[in-house]
Every structure is written in structure tokens, then in C-alpha cells.
Amino acid sequence: MSRAIKVFLNGFIKENPSFILLLGMCPTLGTTSSAINGMSMGLATTFVLICSNVAISLIKNIVPDKVRIPSYIVVIATFVSVLELAMHAYMPAIYETLGLFIPLIVVNCIVLGRAEAFAAKNNFMLSAVDGLGNGLGFAFALTVLGSIRELLGTGMIFGVSVYPEQYGMLAFVLAPGAFIALGLLIAIVNRIKSRTQNV
């Protein structure tokens, strides 16, 4: 049990895919124009991560070593297609806003990275926990970045108004703000990291 908690926290905080490892930068920047978009993208990726981690840890002994990467990609692509069809049917509004980024979960380096680094070596229970930890860590990072951009850009968080919209800096909702907000966030994380290491 304690091992599972350790694995979860490792993915969620210590090796947070977005803030520490800097993986999956495309959806991190592209889908965080608002908190709700960032969160739905994060949760969509979590779903794929858990499913692919479980599936890959179950088939790891059957798949020959030489063709493992292509077979992992097929597994991941299958779950992405499942997700894409399900979202299209049940959540058409979110499907429209996230658009191209849903099929692009296939090429998100986090998913293949966890498959290769963790699921290929561990049993399926731990792999599921690892997928959950990394996925939620990613979702958390995207929600934070989305909230900051939405707050600075439009004065709202999750659509709830905090201050009047005309004082917002629209650039933060648009492309440049994504880069700048993420840059500053990573700088803050670096700062906290070096502080805690010195103590």
C-alpha cells in the first residue's frame, strides 16, 4: 500500500510531467485558454494513461522486445480512438473546443514515456496507480495554468467572475500569454524546488 502511495506522489508531485519533466508541452500550452478546458484535457489524458498503462503491463510478457514500441503505440492509439468517439458522443461541446488535441494525445510523450518507463516493468495494479498519479499531476498543472490565464485574461476562474472583464489582459488568453505564463510558472516551481533542497 505504501508503495502505491509513493508511486502516486512520484507522478503527481516529484516528477510532475508538466512542471518538472516538461513533457507534453503542446497540450499544456494549447488547451489552457481557460481552467475548464485545461482540466478536461488533463482528465482526458488521465483516462488514456490509466488504460494504456494497465493494458501494456498486462501484455508486456507476450510482446517481443523488438516490436514493443510500435505495439505500445497501437495500444495507446486504440484508447485515444475510444476516448475520441466517446467524447464526440457525450461531450460535444468540449470535443469541439479541444478539437485537434484529442487525437494528438497519441503523440503525447507522457503516455508513451510512462508505458516504456513504468508499465513495461511493473504489475498492472501499480501501473494503474502510476497512470493515475501522472495523469492527475498533468491535469492539475493544466488546471493551474488554465486558471491563471483565465484570471489574468478575462477576470474569471471556471467562468466565475472575480474582477470586471475590461481590466483583463486579453493577451493571456491568446498564444503569447500561454508561453509567458508557463515560463513564469516553471520559474516559480524551480525556485521552490531549489529552496526545499537547500533546507
- By the criterion CB under 8 A, which residues form the site for other proteins? 22, 25-27, 29-30, 70, 73-74, 77-78, 80-81, 84-85, 100, 103-104, 106-109, 112, 171, 174-180, 182-184, 186-188, 190-191, 194
Contact 25, 178 (CB under 8 A): no
- β-bridge partners, 156: 161
Q: Please state the closest distance from residue 104 (CB atom) to other proteins, in A.
A: 5
Q: Which is nearer to other proteins, 151 or 178 (CB)?
A: 178
Q: Please state the closest distance from residue 41 (CB atom) to other proteins, in A.
A: 12
Q: Buried b vs exposed e over 142-179: b needs ≥16 C-beta within 10 Å?
A: bbbbbbbbbbbbbbbbeeeeeeeeeebeeebbeeebbe
Retrieve residue 2's grid coordinates. 505504501
Q: Please state the closest distance from residue 123 (CB atom) to other proteins, in A.
A: 27
Q: Which is nearer to other proteins, 11 or 177 (CB)?
A: 177
Tell me the C-alpha distance between 48 and 76, whole Å: 7
Q: Please state the closest distance from residue 21 (CB atom) to other proteins, in A.
A: 11
- HEC string for 107-161: HCHHHHHHHHHHHCCCCHHHHHHHHHHHHHHHHHHHHHHHHHHHHHHHCEECCEE
Q: Which is nearer to other proteins, 106 or 128 (CB)?
A: 106
Q: Which is nearer to other proteins, 80 or 129 (CB)?
A: 80
Q: Which is nearer to other proteins, 4 or 185 (CB)?
A: 185
Q: Please state the closest distance from residue 26 (CB atom) to other proteins, in A.
A: 5
